A and B are shown apart, each in its own frame.
Chain A
Amino acid sequence: MATTIEQHEETKAKAEPELLGLLAEFDDPDELIEASMKVRDAGYRKWDTHTPFPLHGIDEAMGIKWTILPWIVAGCGLTGGTIAVGMQYFMNAVDYPFLISGKPLFSIPASIPITFELSVLLAAFGAFFGMLGLNQLPKLYNPIFKSDAFRRVTNDRFFISMDAKDAKFSEIDTGEFLKSLKPIHVEEFWSDTESAKLPRSLTLGLSLVGVVMLLSVGLVAYLRTTTSPNPRIHIIQDMDFQPSLKAQNTTNLFPDGREIRPNIKGTIPRGQFKDDNIPFYYGLKYLPEDQDVVVIALQDEKKADDKKATDKKAPTDKTPAEKPAAPAVVDPIAAKLDKLPWVTEFPVPVTEKLMARGKERYRIYCSACHGLGGEGDGLVSLRAMELLQGTWVKPASYHTANVRKLPIGRLYHSITNGVRKMPAYGSQVPPEDRWAIILYLKALQKSHQIDANTISEAEKRKLRDTK
């Protein structure tokens, strides 16, 4: 077999390529093994053999030490198992403990399958990536690939490569030594002078990708810090919007477009037949015979279709009310109201609880205008008065003789239907709460009538402190 030393003229011509090493080609695996033993015995350390398939016996011939790969795999496998057990325990027993079919939150047998799978998965990653890492692959560029003969290393030829970095390496001696191993061919391989730097276009392209990535980071930051008048985009609707009817939505199902349905005309909810409990629902001892008055007194809710009521109400509103504390105005309606049989006793049991409830409701619905103490100095009223718009009237104080003497049934009527310029609160405050408010109002009135001398010193001090 002819042995020659080829030199790459092209590569040599370039600016000082370095000699990287020598390649010797064999065509028989057993010859390679014999040659390898000789290289090993000659004391070379940085050298390798290249074969198309794993050659049995070459490891001993070359003196390759055992790889640490099994340990990496074992480590990865154990990590996987630990992660799996930890994950299952944390997720099902700690972070999201959820009882299903009375099964224990965590049990060893139930966690075996996943523990096994994850151990195997990570161990397999360890084996594959560990092998690549230890072999320093992927290594797409390799000067050795420039050799044309070397293309057959993955086919049917066997090579010994001597690294020029080996301490014992010298171009001539090593070359002679290789020839003595009777290869079919020996050649040199040289380094490239081209730079390992990334081409500019690539660097630019990568930077561009980075910039685009930063843009979306910016977008997210923007979305998180700003408000938007547009609702979230529902890419997938799932069942976010169902055709079921909901409170206060609209529908095509009914001519009035409301989803929430009013009571059917002429029906009364069970237990709410007002005539069963006239004092409670009307504030009257009984319903008077005079229907004309009754209509006014009973207009619990303003009904647009109830012409009679609006016709009768209009004159009431036209009455000047600049002096709310003034004596009863000469007004046929008011006069009729005065004559009605208003209740004077609470139609509900008077309890501590009702008083507390009244206080709370008073502060929600009444104090805005009437003030916390009932003097007609609520924040809303104060602000409205400031604006001097004429359409606002200072609300009545509860502490005038006129108001004090009003029967509680009359007060109930005022809350329900409004009085003079005060709008009706019947739709906002249910009857029970109106009575509670009246109870609290009565207490408020009483609190302004107490003779200071009847209060003990301790209580006075307490009052002073709370103020």
Chain B
Amino acid sequence: MASVTAEPIDTTIEVPGKRTPLVTGAHDYGTVTEAVCRLAECKTPLSWYVALGISASLMGMLFGLIGYLIITGVGVWGNRSPVFWGWPIVNFVFWVGIGHAGTLISAILFLFRQDWRTGINRAAEAMTIFAVICAGVFPGIHIGRVWLAYWLFPIPNQMSMWPNFRSPLLWDVFAVSTYATVSLLFWYMGMIPDLATLRDRAKGKIQQFAYGLLSLGWNGSSRHWHRYERAYLLLAALAAPLVLSVHTIVSFDFAVSQLPGWHTTIFPPYFVAGAVFSGFAMVLTLMIPARSICGIKDLLTDRHLENMTKVIIATGSMVGYAYAMEFFIAWYGGNRYEMFAFINRAFGPYAWAYWIMVSCNVISPQLFWIKKIRTTPWMIFVVCIFVNIGMWFERFVITVTSLSRDFLPSSWGYFQPTIVDVLMLIGSFGLFMTLFLLFCKFMPMVAMAEVKSVMPRPSGKGDH
């Protein structure tokens, strides 16, 4: 059996006229399978249990706090007049933003024929879904009386009422739930052939049953593959505008209301850029340790990381541009309330949050212009952590500073989170990590079939 060149190559250097291989190391189809399936098949390392234990306890804490919140009421949060949106909505927007990278990588890069996506798309998609789950938790509990959450949907009810379709909040319900559903379908559909691989390799009967059930009897038929690829392409084509629409609509939650600091037309592109920015940062934060621990560095190469840092520079700069443009328009528009809102943002009581946001989001990604930084995984990791922090603060700044300065100075306030707020944010990371760890252990972490299809064929023929 033929295999690609065995000597190590630096995939971060582009050689004109020659395609850089997407998979390094001496891999053939079988060893790719081996590398990916190893984690699901081998004895689970102790560290995994430790990590799961920590995440699951944090997750348990989140659920406990949700119970406490439901029983006691939303007063356990710091949400007080005039800041009624507070942390839950900040967390929601933060997580929805994180949830943008996966489908973007899968769909938009797929449509652009960026084959390097094959190494990272599965994990990124999984991350998307888990982030959207985390995001969904917050507005769900933010309504206070969770048992009335069905009011958000057009369900016939004894009140003979329908939701108000002219409200951006309702658009958001549709956008986020559609996004979650389509991402889930996309993710699951992509996994079917790989689940079949796990099924066919599984030793235990329970695994054979479980993977057999999940893989729906996939047998690799070319006639099936034909329709599968068509469906995948169509889903990608559908998901691509969907990704852009979701954060656009999330931004409408703010932009459609007439509050200085929110009521701006730049919000949709600014939010989308920010979402991609934070999403890629989160993918990198997760993948850099994961690829070492799981031993899939050959499939998730330095080149993958470098490509993603380039996306981060681009989107980070867009976000920086948006920050600047907001100030420019506030001045140029001549609206004194708008001017006040932005001066207050940068120099008011929340100036600390604003400058954390600017330094993390605008300044830190610019380090990626230096090749040394963007090809050194630990440095990428550090910068990405900063981006994550910065993006959380961006949502905090947008949500809280505008609300804390109501039109009447008598209703001005200063938002102070309670310990429940803080623990819930930490708990949501627990939920996210728990799901991600379970995914790493039990699901194919890399899209094997897709990686194989972009590998050079053993006979050296073919178009790749």
Q: Which residues of A contact B (CB under 8 A)?
A: 27-31, 48-59, 62, 64, 67, 69-70, 73, 77, 87-88, 91-92, 95-96, 98, 100, 103, 107, 110-111, 113-114, 116-118, 120-121, 123-125, 127-128, 130-132, 134-135, 137-142, 144-145, 150-156, 159, 236, 238
The docked-state distance in angstroms from the alpha carbon of A138 to that of B216 is 4
Q: Which residues of A contact B235 (CB under 8 A)?
A: 124, 127-128
Q: Which residues of A contact B229 (CB under 8 A)?
A: 54
Q: Among the listed B218, B226, B239, B241, which residue makes an inter-chain contact with A59, where contact means beta carbons less than 8 Å apart?
A: B226
Q: Which residues of B contact A100 (CB under 8 A)?
A: 164, 166-167
Q: Does B201 interact with chain A (Cβ within 8 Å)?
A: yes
Nearest Cβ distance between residue B439 and chain A, in whole angstroms?
19
The docked-state distance in angstroms from the alpha carbon of A221 to that of B368 is 68
Say yes or no: A138 contacts B220, CB within 8 Å: no
Closest 3 CB pairs of A and B: A138-B216, A156-B29, A91-B162
Nearest Cβ distance between residue A137 and chain B, in whole angstroms?
5
Q: Which residues of A contact B47 (CB under 8 A)?
A: none
Q: Does B199 interact with chain A (Cβ within 8 Å)?
A: yes
Listed by A's residue number, 27 A-B pairs whose Cβ atoms lie within 8 Å are A28-B458, A30-B459, A31-B459, A54-B229, A55-B225, A59-B222, A91-B163, A95-B160, A110-B165, A113-B174, A117-B174, A117-B178, A124-B181, A124-B186, A128-B231, A135-B227, A137-B217, A140-B212, A140-B216, A144-B219, A153-B200, A153-B219, A155-B200, A155-B201, A156-B29, A156-B30, A236-B147
Q: Which residues of B contact A132 (CB under 8 A)?
A: 216
Q: Among the listed A70, A110, A151, which residue makes an inter-chain contact with B201, where contact means beta carbons less than 8 Å apart?
A: A151
In this complex, what residue of B is CB-closest to A55?
B222
Say yes or no: A57 contacts B222, CB within 8 Å: no
Say yes or no: A127 contacts B145, CB within 8 Å: no
B202-242 contact mask (Cβ, 8 Å, vs A): 1 or 0: 00000000001100111111111111111100110011011
In this complex, what residue of B is CB-closest to A88?
B165
Q: Does B15 interact with chain A (Cβ within 8 Å)?
A: no
B-side binding surface: helix, strand, loop or mixed? helix
Say yes or no: A124 contacts B185, CB within 8 Å: yes
Nearest Cβ distance between residue B118 and chain A, in whole angstroms?
10
In this complex, what residue of B is CB-closest to A134?
B227
A-side binding surface: helix, strand, loop or mixed? helix
Say yes or no: A113 contacts B252, CB within 8 Å: yes
Nearest Cβ distance between residue B108 and chain A, in whole angstroms?
14
Say yes or no: A124 contacts B182, CB within 8 Å: yes
Q: Does B175 interact with chain A (Cβ within 8 Å)?
A: yes
The docked-state distance in angstroms from the alpha carbon of A29 to that of B220 is 13
The docked-state distance in angstroms from the alpha carbon of A91 to that of B230 is 36
Say yes or no: B213 contacts A91, CB within 8 Å: no
Q: Which residues of A contact B168 (CB under 8 A)?
A: 113
In this complex, what residue of A is CB-closest to B174?
A117
B329-366 contact mask (Cβ, 8 Å, vs A): 1 or 0: 00000000000000000000000000000000000000
Say yes or no: A121 contacts B171, CB within 8 Å: no
